[in-house]
């Protein structure tokens, strides 16, 4: 009897030891996993999937970022310290066309043609390339060993938000990107509240005189901004595509209520000359905006903005068409 009891006690002891060992192993494994997670967080290693489906592994938050567009520079400057950017577009510090000109002055290097040799010389630890960049350039940079993340090249508010999110994730600063998106949403909600109840028959028609000869038609950034501003894009209304040139005949056919004229003095157009030529052109005297001298300036830095300040461009267009609603 005693032998049986002793054997039973030993089995219980062994079972208890086995259970205790399993519990300790689980506990130690959990601690080790937590430690590994902490170590990963401390080093900042993470992965980013871009719009082309490419996954890039970054060992830490990049400190020498180069973007391949002025709009991407504007996004990066708005959410990151200037010291984390290795170079900017050559127009980034021109307040006439850049919305982040003041902050851009803290970055000394400039890029104009985006050639491979210059980009390699900058030794970036992250290249942000909008998907409107040439694919051969993107592939060449990748083949050269540069870490490239392809982001959305925006042509609408929704796509600006998408690009902001992608750039913020690539830079390791998702909260900074989300903050900009939330600010945009507040601004867009305010604009919508002012223009959303305008009947279609009462919407104003707007035409943009652009520094780019072929720009502003259906599907362009400006076209989408007009939609959000509650106005009719005259160029799109008469059948022009986003890469079609605006002619005098198209302006007459559109018969806009408002013509937006340039503000940027370093572009292809002479600002004062454009205004005088429009007002004095015999072929345009039947156009409502010419008769009523509704030639309005909205900062080109905002009208051509494919970054977070696109909202200011949309507000400017809406205010030009419906000034009474924005007083």
Q: Do 313 and 302 contact (CB within 8 A), yes or no?
A: yes
Residue 32 within a domain:
no
Question: Phi and psi dihedrals of 88, rounded to 5?
Answer: -135, 165
Q: What is the 3-state secondary structure (H, E, C) of the chain?
A: CHHHHHHHHHHHHHHHHHHHHHHHHHHHHHHHHHHHHHHHHHHCCEEEECCCCCEEEECCCCCCEEECCHHHHHHHHHHCCHHHECCEECCCCCCCCCCCHHHHCCCCCEECCCCHHHHHHCCCCEEEEECCCCHHHHHHHHHCCCCEEEECCCCCHHHHHHHHHHHHHHCCCHHHHHHHHHHHHHHHHHHHHHHCCCCHHHCCEEEECCCCCECCCECCHHHHHHHHHCCEEHHHHCCCECCCECCHHHHHHHCCCEEEECCCCCCCCCHHHHHHHHHHCHHHCCCHHHHCCCEEECCHHHHCCCCCCHHHHHHHHHHHHCHHHHC
- Higher-pLDDT residue of 41 and 103 is 103
Residues 60 and 179 occupy one common structural domain: yes
Q: Does position 319 have pLDDT exceeding 90, yes or no?
A: yes
Residues 62 and 169 occupy one common structural domain: yes
Residues 237 and 141 occupy one common structural domain: no
Beta bridge partners of 296: 260
Residue 34 within a domain:
no
Residue 4 within a domain:
no
Q: Among 136, 154, 184, which residue terminates a domain? A: 184
Q: Among 132, 149, 184, which residue terminates a domain? A: 184
Describe the crossing of helices 310-321 and 221-229 by its angle, rounded to 10 degrees.
60
Residues 94 and 167 occupy one common structural domain: yes
Describe the crossing of helices 70-79 and 157-170 by its angle, rounded to 10 degrees.
60
Residues 216 and 294 occupy one common structural domain: yes
Residues 175 and 61 occupy one common structural domain: yes
pLDDT score for 26: 38
Residues 247 and 175 occupy one common structural domain: no
Q: Among 160, 184, 208, which residue terminates a domain? A: 184
What gap in Å lies between CA 231 and CA 66, rounded to an integer?
36
Task: Look over the chain and give the mean of its residue pLDDT values, rounded to a whole number.
Answer: 89
Q: pLDDT class for 42, splitting at 50, 70, 90?
A: very low
Q: Do 153 and 221 contact (CB within 8 A), yes or no?
A: no
Note the pLDDT tens digit of each residue in 68-92.
Answer: 999 999 999 999 999 999 999 999 9
Residues 167 and 215 occupy one common structural domain: no
Least confident among 40-44, 116-120, 136-140, 176-180: 40-44
Residue 95 within a domain:
yes
Note the pLDDT tens digit of each residue in 178-219.
Answer: 999 999 999 999 999 999 999 999 999 999 999 998 899 999
Residues 318 and 204 occupy one common structural domain: yes
Q: Do 96 and 265 contact (CB within 8 A), yes or no?
A: yes
Q: Does position 6 have pLDDT exceeding 90, yes or no?
A: no
Residues 74 and 116 occupy one common structural domain: yes
Residues 179 and 213 occupy one common structural domain: no
Q: pLDDT class for 165, splitting at 50, 70, 90?
A: very high
Tokens of residue 72, six digits: 């991407």
Residue with tokens 């490239």: 148
Q: Does position 229 have pLDDT exceeding 50, yes or no?
A: yes
Residues 273 and 149 occupy one common structural domain: no
Q: pLDDT class for 32, splitting at 50, 70, 90?
A: very low
Average pLDDT over residues 129-140: 94
Residue 305 within a domain:
yes
Q: Does position 98 have pLDDT exceeding 80, yes or no?
A: yes
Q: pLDDT class for 11, splitting at 50, 70, 90?
A: very low
**CATH code, domain carrying 264:** 3.40.50.1980
Q: How far is CA 314 from CA 115, 135, 137, 214, 301, in A?
A: 33, 31, 32, 20, 12
pTM for this structure? 0.85
Residue 162 within a domain:
yes
Q: Do 181 and 307 contact (CB within 8 A), yes or no?
A: no
Q: How far is CA 185 from CA 36, 74, 313, in A?
A: 38, 18, 14
pLDDT score for 43: 53
Residue 21 within a domain:
no
The residue range of the domain holding 208 is 199-326
Residue 122 within a domain:
yes
Total domains, the chain: 2
Q: pLDDT class for 37, splitting at 50, 70, 90?
A: very low
Cα-Cα-Cα-Cα torsion 260, 263, 264, 269, nearest 10 degrees, comes to 60
């Amino acid at each position: 009897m005693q032998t049986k009891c002793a054997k039973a006690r030993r089995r219980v002891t062994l079972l208890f030891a086995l259970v205790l060992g399993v519990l300790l192993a689980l506990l130690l494994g959990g601690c080790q996993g937590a430690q590994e997670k902490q170590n990963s967080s401390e080093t900042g290693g993470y992965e980013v999937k871009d719009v082309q489906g490419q996954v890039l592994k970054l060992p830490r938050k990049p400190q020498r970022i180069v973007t391949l567009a002025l709009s991407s520079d504007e996004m990066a400057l708005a959410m990151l310290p200037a010291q984390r950017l290795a170079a900017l577009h050559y127009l980034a510090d021109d307040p006439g066309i850049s919305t982040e000109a003041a902050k851009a002055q803290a970055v000394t290097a400039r890029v104009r043609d985006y050639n491979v040799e210059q980009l390699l010389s900058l030794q970036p630890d992250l290249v942000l390339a909008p998907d409107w960049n040439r694919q051969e350039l993107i592939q060449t940079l990748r083949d050269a060993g540069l870490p490239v993340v392809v982001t959305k090249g925006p042509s609408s508010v929704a796509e600006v938000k998408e690009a902001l999110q992608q750039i913020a994730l690539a830079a390791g600063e998702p909260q900074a990107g989300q903050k900009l998106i939330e600010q945009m949403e507040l601004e867009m909600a305010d604009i919508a509240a002012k223009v959303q109840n305008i009947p279609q028959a009462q919407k104003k028609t707007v035409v943009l005189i652009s520094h780019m000869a072929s720009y502003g038609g259906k599907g362009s950034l400006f076209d989408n901004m007009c939609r959000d501003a509650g106005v009719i894009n005259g160029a799109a209304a008469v059948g022009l595509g986003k890469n079609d040139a605006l002619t005098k005949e198209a302006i007459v056919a559109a018969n806009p209520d408002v013509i937006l004229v340039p503000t940027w003095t370093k572009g292809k157009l002479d600002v004062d000359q454009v205004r005088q030529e429009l007002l004095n052109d015999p072929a345009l005297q039947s156009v409502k905006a010419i008769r009523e001298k509704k030639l309005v300036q909205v900062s080109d830095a905002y009208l051509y903005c494919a970054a977070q300040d696109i909202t200011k461009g949309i507000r400017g267009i809406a205010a030009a068409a419906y000034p009474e609603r924005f007083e």
